[in-house]
Structure 1
């Protein structure tokens, strides 16, 4: 058995699943998802999230409490700040924790049963089953709104452009760690693609479309993909992946929107600076063919 801890937003969950799926496939063993993180209380600087992978065609089942206890022990204790749950990671219980943000080569040597704990944000963890991952992260059905966008995208030279704001702006901790991509980055990226290709149309994906409309001028046909109009996050990923080219934010969400594109001819532009914080080395985060601006 391979069990993986899922946490964070949809993009993080996809990385965690993909790494665990590769390992389960390699070892020919069942894959279990531990989603208890989503039901626990978190500190105020952690953005609340919900489990989101049920929207895809994934091949895994939920871990039961008894299965989880094979790997994770929890102890209740009291302290000055009140009652908390503390989890004890016991190496003897076959818990494999990501050592750093870079690709961890130990991943290639581990055997099951195993509990994976980390973010696993590199295609190196699952590149050997890339076709499987792309197929399983497809969306079974789309809303009528998304179907209309998809038809336009498939009949144009479409560029997905993602602007991540949300908690990157409103949450002080997230802002200090991640930061937002600058207007200059987006304008430079748009110019780069327009120098390479004619007749491009831009599809804007953002959690703050009003801000984008006001602050990002684009001299081309532009469509603002409005989630409130019926396109859910997993549907937005399906729309992104069908675009010809991509301008992504420093966000795992648009990373996946670009990576899931099957085309060998796609151009993907990513920000040179992924984190404001220097705690993480991002050398393994972006595929080598992607362009950093």
Structure 2
């Protein structure tokens, strides 16, 4: 299968998916699939590869390829803050099943991978599906290409229309750190859902407008995250973003450390 990613930029699906576990950087609201471990290694990775990457004042999704083989060697996807309605989320196709595969660029040339704009959340946030727009729900998907464990590109009419992350709580982390290899706790799964409620529309708009009831909910969640004892690596990644919202939009009760 050949895919179109940006106008006339194309790649061929291969049999070699990335064997790299994704990192769901919750404070940064992005999913990274790469082996770099810090900013310096990431910058060198960009120098050594080609494809789609961020530029000054521009923040597209990333697909990076090795110049010699033109094979995909890393990816990065940004989570949209616009949450689709429950009705639209229910329309996300369940077929076809994910087929593991990599990508080989047709040519060594940079391009721009437009970020997604709509977040569709499955019940319990078992799967996060991110789409370029909701028009993709008007017809069936042609393919799901499993680029890496639990990460798939969504293809419709030969064009990439979005991506998905299955079991996102498992991959929660901060920055470039690797996720905790231990299974997530049930409490963390519930907390992820509460956090996603508050950092996506419509509740995010209420936070930004300083709606008293929503800010009270934000403060309560902040306290629960601070008091959670188990699964601290994942919980700390949730807390990093929630505490920033509290700092910017709510008055934390006295006696609590920031």
TM-score of the pair, normalised by structure 1 = 0.27
Q: Which structure: greater helix fraction?
A: 1
Q: Which structure: greater strand fraction?
A: 2
TM-score of the pair, normalised by structure 2 = 0.29
